[in-house]
């Protein structure tokens, strides 16, 4: 039995078994404080300057090696080089060396602490969080000062890479053939580490608590990036069990990838489109490699974040045109800006709200910043000549917001016509249905929208009144709650009665326990993370519309969520035992298995 089991967030699925190699640890607890004689001050200051300069040169060299498809990471490297070359950080640390007669390591720690205090007083959340970049820079320089710098070229054999966090320079310099898996103490699903791991298809866990306290270099570990676990010093029986599972998973992956470009069509001929949710241009390769039939949700807000200046219309047009061109004739659906207090852009200052989920966000934010909104719409319209482009507004609560958004759209169209700029006059414009008010007025909205896209993540949150990131109530996040199923069915029926199509782009779309029920409702398309596409397509191809409708009928007869979950679990486990070995479902519950 493993000595310890740690948990983290799986960002790229798979299993890896091997030895841990730490590229960096948080050094703050081990930095030495030493007093120095006055005649050693100049030498200590010079040692610090050399460490900063050497670290900057290494990053600049790493930047030159960044392939074109990872240019976003190159921009992040530039920001770290700028911090290293900023004379203020060096002058501050050198000042501590001189005044306090302390070693360079401790002086740098003092200088960073001083900056942390200043950043903590900044109201703008985005700017405040940039202190993490300063810490990453300081860690790199401290490693050099302490003689602890480890590079991936130091690696012998294949290892499981562990780190407090991986900087952009770290990630672009990875020798992939040496790395079986990534794990980091920091990070989330949308961190650059997570995105890179998914694009490289390497098993990966981020946000692993106790990672640096519980694991040492060379220790044997099992990374279970299917369930989000690390087994530290596993027993022989666990190694055997996971070796078999790893082999099964690799065979399964090869089998589903081999057929992922086949259409998602049931045995009795019902065709559904399976598309991808992405936020970066770099993910296009993953869409195509996994059989995605287009992009059903392009999260445009990421082009506005992690930068000091807003993108202008030309820049956005170039980005949207490139994406549409490379995917044509496949469809790309651009979701207009979904910003708010939870995803801030520094140019608009901090949005101080007690409850951001119910505040100024998404379409509400755009309608209060119409010039920003119009610039984005103009860019999408200009890109519409390059491919099969559609756009949709997030978080529409009723007809008034839809009509206000369309007014901005019509102004943008009028301007482009006047300027002689070509665009697709018939570009489809849809809405995201993610509020109960939109569900209840779906019949009205369907008459003025070209399509619906159901965002189940928010729809569940708002319908059931729960925050799924709140550990006290997250157990109430129930995709198969009778209210949710009836809401989705109501939206699908209302759309079809008006002759428009319905997509579903929340996490439910990638859940094999939910997909047969959605098929039974005759959903038109599903959109999910690219890696989930092959498995979902395979399930669809193995089922029939008749059995999906029968399952839906039986589910709708159930009165409680527990009864529905048990019915679905029993049915799906019996029907698709092989696929479900590798899935962690949204409805998984220990008391039901």
Question: What span, in angstroms and rounded, lies between the C-alpha atoms of 505 and 482?
Answer: 19
Residues with Cβ within 8 Å of residue 557, at least 6 apart in sequence? none
- DSSP labels, 93-129: HHHHHHHH-B-HHHHHHHHHHHHHHHHHT-S-HHHHH
Question: What span, in angstroms and rounded, lies between the C-alpha atoms of 487 and 239?
Answer: 45
- Residue 468: CA count within 13 A, CB half-sphere: 14
Question: What span, in angstroms and rounded, lies between the C-alpha atoms of 233 and 475?
Answer: 31
Q: How far is CA 499 from the centre of its chain?
A: 33
Q: Report residue 545 as tokens.
A: 């519309």
453, 458, 459, 463: CA torsion to nearest 10 = -170
Sheet holding 4-7, edge to edge: 4-7, 229-232, 220-224, 15-24, 159-163, 179-184, 204-206, 9-12
Residues with Cβ within 8 Å of residue 345, at least 6 apart in sequence? 126, 304, 305, 310, 339
Question: What span, in angstroms and rounded, lies between the C-alpha atoms of 224 and 205?
Answer: 8
Q: Which residues pair with 452 in a beta bridge?
A: 431, 502
Question: What span, in angstroms and rounded, lies between the C-alpha atoms of 384 and 371?
Answer: 20
| Residue labelled with tokens 């995201």 | 432
Question: What span, in angstroms and rounded, lies between the C-alpha atoms of 379 and 497?
Answer: 32
Of 192, 290, 366, 481, catalytic: 192
Of 260, 366, 505, 514, catalytic: 505
Going from the C-alpha of 24 to that of each of 20, 166, 240, 409, 432, the distances in angstroms are: 12, 8, 30, 49, 42
Q: Give the number of residues written for the chain.
A: 593
Q: How far is CA 524 from the centre of its chain?
A: 25
Give yes or no: 192 in active site.
yes
For the chain, the first-to-last Cα distance in angstroms comes to 22
- Nearest Cα to Cα of residue 455 among 429, 485, 474, 431: 431
∠ CA 280-285-286 to the nearest 5 degrees?
85
Give yes or no: 90 in active site.
no
269: left (phi over 0), alpha (psi -120 to 50) or beta: left
As annotated, the active-site residues are 192, 505
């Amino acid at each position: 039995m493993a000595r310890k089991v740690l948990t983290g967030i799986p960002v790229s699925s798979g299993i890896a078994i091997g030895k841990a190699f730490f590229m960096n640890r948080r050094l703050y607890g081990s930095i030495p404080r030493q007093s120095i004689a006055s005649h050693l001050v100049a030498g200590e200051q010079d040692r610090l300057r050399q460490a900063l300069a050497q670290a900057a040169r290494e990053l600049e060299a790493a930047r030159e090696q960044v392939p074109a498809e990872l240019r976003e990471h190159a921009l992040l490297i530039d920001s770290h080089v700028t911090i290293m070359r900023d004379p203020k950080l060096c002058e501050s640390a050198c000042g501590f060396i001189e005044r306090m007669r302390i070693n360079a390591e401790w002086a740098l720690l003092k200088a960073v602490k001083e900056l942390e205090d200043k950043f903590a007083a900044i109201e703008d959340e985005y700017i405040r969080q940039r202190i993490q970049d300063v810490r990453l820079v300081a860690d790199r320089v401290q490693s050099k000062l302490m003689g602890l710098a480890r590079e991936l070229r130091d690696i012998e054999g294949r290892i499981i890479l562990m780190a407090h966090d991986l900087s952009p320079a770290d990630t672009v310099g990875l020798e992939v053939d040496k790395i079986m898996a990534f794990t980091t103490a920091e990070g989330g699903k949308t961190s650059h580490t997570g995105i890179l791991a998914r694009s490289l298809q390497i098993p990966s866990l981020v946000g692993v608590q106790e990672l640096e306290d519980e694991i040492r270099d060379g220790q044997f570990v099992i990374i279970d990036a299917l369930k989000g676990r690390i087994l530290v010093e596993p027993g022989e029986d666990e190694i055997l069990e996971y070796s078999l599972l790893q082999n099964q998973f690799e065979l399964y992956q090869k089998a589903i990838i081999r057929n992922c470009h086949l259409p998602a069509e049931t045995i009795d001929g019902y065709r559904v489109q399976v598309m991808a949710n992405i936020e970066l241009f770099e993910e296009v390769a993953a869409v195509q490699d996994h059989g995605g039939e287009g992009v059903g949700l392009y999260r445009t807000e990421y082009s506005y974040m992690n930068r000091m200046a807003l993108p202008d219309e030309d820049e956005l047009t170039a980005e949207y045109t490139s994406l549409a061109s490379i995917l044509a004739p496949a469809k790309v659906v651009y979701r207009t800006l979904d910003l708010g207090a939870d995803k801030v852009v520094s140019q608009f200052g901090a949005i101080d709200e007690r409850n951001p989920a119910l505040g100024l966000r998404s379409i509400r934010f755009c309608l209060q910043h119409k010039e920003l909104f119009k610039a984005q719409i103009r860019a999408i319209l200009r890109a519409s000549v390059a491919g099969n482009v559609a756009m949709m507004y997030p978080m529409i609560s009723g007809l008034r917001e839809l009509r206000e958004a369309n007014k901005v759209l019509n102004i943008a169209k009028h301007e482009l016509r006047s300027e002689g700029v070509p665009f697709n006059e018939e570009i489809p414009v849809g809405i995201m249905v993610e509020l109960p008010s939109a569900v209840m007025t779906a019949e009205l909205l369907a008459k003025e929208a070209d399509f619906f896209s159901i965002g189940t993540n928010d729809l569940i949150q708002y319908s059931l009144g729960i925050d799924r990131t709140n550990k006290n109530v997250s157990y109430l996040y129930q995709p198969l709650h009778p209210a949710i199923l009836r809401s989705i069915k109501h939206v699908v029926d209302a759309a079809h009665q008006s002759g428009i199509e319905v997509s579903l782009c929340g996490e439910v779309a990638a859940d094999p326990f939910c997909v047969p029920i959605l098929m039974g409702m005759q959903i038109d398309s599903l959109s999910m993370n690219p890696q989930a596409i092959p498995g979902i397509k395979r399930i669809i191809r193995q089922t029939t519309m008749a059995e999906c409708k029968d399952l839906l009928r039986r589910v709708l007869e159930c009165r409680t969520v527990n009864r529905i979950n048990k019915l679905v679990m029993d049915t799906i486990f019996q029907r698709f035992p092989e696929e479900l070995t590798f899935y962690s479902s949204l409805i998984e519950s220990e008391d039901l298995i």
